[in-house]
């Protein structure tokens, strides 16, 4: 079924009576027009990535009615965002901003506090405000997706500029950057590549950060800092403001590109390979945020359910996926490296020769010749993404389970063999205990790597949901005990992850809370996001 009947009725936020809440909604309708305010009182509709609901997390790890909005509001301008914020302060209603709400794996469109009013910024605030063909920058509103930005560059004939896209191109350029998401060109660290923010504060003032604070400046998108404290950082992964404009730098077209793929035969090749990758990555011979993936994901990305290959209980045995890999163009292996070399042919050749020489120091390492790969091979999707061309093929591994849902474990570490091994070992141990297939992918940045382990689960199977939740929580604790932390997490895990960043008697969280209380005295904006609870909620049983 594509709807979930409601058991618990409309989610009225705590601390306000039902009647007063409906009065408040009527007032909001008067301010913004009734067509721009919607109660979330019907069945919860499911969907897929491109037609996703904005009312809740369509991949629930808890009861599907836990993280739901009471209402949705669609502002058309920064001034209307200010009106919503003032309204929320008046009625003390929690509000939760999303840009497009495609944050799947981390909570989708859901608010952290049940019954919050979700501000869906992207529906009406979706303009590309500027593209500068000389400075290679742009300025966007929350509703601009990677697809939209890419298509606009093509339409204007700006082929000299590239965008950077995450694995899926339907997300918001702004939403992904403020959640510090990643893509796969040399511009893959989206937050690092932004320049300039406009923010509505929780009390309704509007600020422009960086050079944007200087009226008449023309440097907002080319110099990120301005003068004085660099305030941008506090508006990423936080609940201190609603970002209404974001500047982004664009990559120059490198004048050619060439993807490559290597396979490695043994599980134990991981550590030596990572040791080889580090110096190549830091010196930019390996130029992009590349991926080293476990071979099981190469089977899963074919898009067929796991039951096609194996119907037994517990994790899929190694011999089963190896049998499948042998039939595929990739061939039998345990790890697959997807990378990209940029520039004209002679420059690429220089780098690719070094890479080949280094990678083949691992016994059994194989370069797969792309000309032998059919057009529907996943390699070509990675090729597009690393060239800044939005794609959707990555969604296919979600079919691994019926009612395919996923939730991510995303720790960071330096690019070191022993760190990769330690993280892989703890993930493997906890996945084996939980009977969940392990599909790790190391995304290698310049001096660190994000390990992304997506747990694919059946969201209609309560036992499996619980097992996935436990597996994640165990991995977060195990990782913290070894000194590793997550770069990003799902709404339901935010308290736990924030709790691991506890040096000096939780000094960082106490600082975050002080800032929250100063900026948001009524505690209305995204309470609990990233584990930051305002005074009105703190210590009252909201943490999980």
Q: Which residues bind ligand FAD (CB under 6 A)?
A: 49, 97-105, 121, 142, 166-168, 171-172, 174-176, 178-179, 181-182, 242-243, 394-395, 529
* φ and ψ at residue 537, rounded to 5 degrees: -105, -20
- Cβ proximity to ligand FAD, 172 vs 249, nearer residue: 172
Q: Could you identify the residue written with the tokens 């509103």? A: 141
Element containing residue 73 per DSSP (H, E): strand 71-73
By the 8 A CB rule, do 188 and 164 touch? yes
From residue 237, how far is each of 402, 499, 527 by CA, in Å? 31, 15, 12
SS3 helix, strand, coil % of the chain, rounded to 5? 35, 20, 45
Residue 165 token pair: 């896209």
* Min CB(202)–ligand FAD separation in Å: 11
- Cβ proximity to ligand FAD, 105 vs 224, nearer residue: 105
By the 8 A CB rule, do 502 and 509 touch? yes
**Annotated catalytic residue, options 184, 187, 321, 487:** 487
Q: Which residues fall within 8 angstroms of residue 360, CB to CB, at 6 or more apart? A: 367
Give me the sheet containing 37-39, strands edge to edge: 37-39, 71-73, 117-120, 95-98
- Is 123 marked active-site? no
SS3 457: strand
* Min CB(235)–ligand FAD separation in Å: 7
**Annotated catalytic residue, options 281, 430, 488, 529:** 488
Residue 201 token pair: 């504060």
- Cβ proximity to ligand FAD, 169 vs 362, nearer residue: 169
- Is 150 marked active-site? no
By the 8 A CB rule, do 431 and 438 touch? yes
- Is 106 marked active-site? yes
* Min CB(106)–ligand FAD separation in Å: 6
Rounded Cα–Cα distance for residues 109 and 96 (Å): 9
SS3 522: coil
* φ and ψ at residue 464, rounded to 5 degrees: -70, -40
* Min CB(17)–ligand FAD separation in Å: 27
Question: Which of 332, 349, 201, 360 lies closest to 276, judged by CA?
Answer: 360
Exposure of 247 by Cβ count < 10 A (0-12 exposed, 13-18 middle, 19+ buried)?
buried
* Min CB(404)–ligand FAD separation in Å: 10
Residue 534 token pair: 């305002």
**Annotated catalytic residue, options 74, 106, 484, 537:** 106
- Cβ proximity to ligand FAD, 57 vs 269, nearer residue: 57
Neighbours of 501 (CB within 10 A): 15
- Cβ proximity to ligand FAD, 97 vs 224, nearer residue: 97
* Min CB(6)–ligand FAD separation in Å: 22
- Cβ proximity to ligand FAD, 210 vs 351, nearer residue: 210
Residue 402 token pair: 């019926």
- Cβ proximity to ligand FAD, 38 vs 478, nearer residue: 38
Residue 98 token pair: 């999303």
HSE of 347, CA atoms in CB hemisphere, 13 A:
14
* Min CB(382)–ligand FAD separation in Å: 11
* Min CB(197)–ligand FAD separation in Å: 9
- Cβ proximity to ligand FAD, 13 vs 359, nearer residue: 13
Among all residues, which ones are annotated catalytic?
106, 487-488
């Amino acid at each position: 079924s594509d709807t979930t009947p409601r058991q618990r009725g409309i989610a009225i936020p705590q601390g306000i009576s039902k009647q007063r809440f409906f009065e408040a909604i009527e007032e909001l309708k008067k301010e913004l027009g009734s067509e721009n305010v919607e109660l979330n009182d019907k069945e919860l509709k499911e969907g897929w990535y491109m037609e996703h609901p904005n009312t809740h997390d369509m991949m629930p790890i808890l009861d599907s009615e836990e993280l739901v909005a009471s209402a949705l509001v669609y502002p058309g301008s920064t001034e209307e965002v200010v009106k919503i914020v003032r309204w929320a302060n008046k009625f003390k209603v929690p509000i939760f901003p999303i840009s497009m709400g495609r944050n799947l794996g981390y909570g989708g469109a859901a608010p952290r506090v049940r019954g919050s009013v979700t501000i869906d910024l992207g529906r009406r605030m979706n303009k590309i405000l500027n593209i500068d063909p000389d400075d290679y920058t742009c300025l966007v509103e929350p509703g601009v997706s990677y697809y939209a930005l890419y298509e606009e560059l093509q339409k204007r004939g700006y082929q000299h500029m590239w965008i950077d896209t995450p694995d899926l191109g339907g997300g918001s350029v702004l939403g992904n950057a403020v959640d510090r998401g990643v893509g796969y060109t040399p511009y893959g660290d989206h937050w690092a590549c932004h320049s300039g923010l406009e923010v509505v504060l929780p009390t309704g003032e509007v600020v422009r950060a960086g050079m944007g604070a200087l009226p008449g400046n023309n440097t907002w998108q080319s110099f990120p800092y301005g003068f004085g404290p660099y305030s941008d950082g506090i508006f990423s992964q936080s609940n201190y403001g609603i970002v209404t404009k974001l500047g982004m730098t664009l990559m120059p077209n490198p004048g050619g590109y060439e993807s490559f793929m290597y396979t490695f035969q043994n599980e134990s090749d991981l550590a030596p390979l990572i040791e080889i990758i580090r110096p190549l990555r830091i010196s930019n011979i390996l130029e992009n945020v590349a991926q080293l993936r476990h071979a099981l994901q190469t089977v899963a990305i074919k898009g067929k359910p796991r039951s096609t290959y194996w119907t037994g209980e517990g994790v899929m045995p190694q011999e089963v996926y190896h049998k499948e890999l042998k039939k595929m163009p990739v061939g039998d292996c345990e790890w697959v490296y997807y990378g990209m070399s940029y520039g004209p042919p002679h420059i690429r050749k220089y780098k690719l020769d070094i890479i080949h020489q280094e990678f083949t120091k691992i016994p059994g390492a194989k370069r797969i010749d792309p000309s032998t790969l059919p057009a529907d091979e996943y390699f070509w999707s990675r090729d597009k993404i690393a060239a800044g061309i939005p794609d959707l093929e990555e969604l296919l591994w979600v079919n691994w389970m019926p009612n395919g849902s996923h939730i991510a474990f995303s720790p960071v570490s330096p690019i070191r063999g022993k760190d990769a091994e330690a993280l892989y070992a703890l993930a493997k141990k906890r996945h084996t205990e939980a009977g969940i297939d392990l599909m790790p992918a190391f995304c290698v940045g310049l001096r660190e790597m994000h390990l992304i382990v997506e747990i694919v689960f059946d969201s209609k199977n309560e036992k499996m949901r619980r097992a996935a939740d436990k597996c994640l929580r165990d991995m977060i604790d195990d990782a913290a005990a070894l000194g590793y932390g997550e770069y990003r997490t799902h709404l339901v895990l935010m308290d736990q992850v924030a709790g691991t960043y506890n040096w000096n008697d939780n000094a960082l969280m106490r600082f975050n809370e002080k800032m929250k209380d100063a900026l948001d005295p009524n505690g209305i904006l995204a309470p609990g996001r990233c584990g930051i609870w305002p005074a009105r909620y703190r210590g009252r049983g909201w943490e999980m």
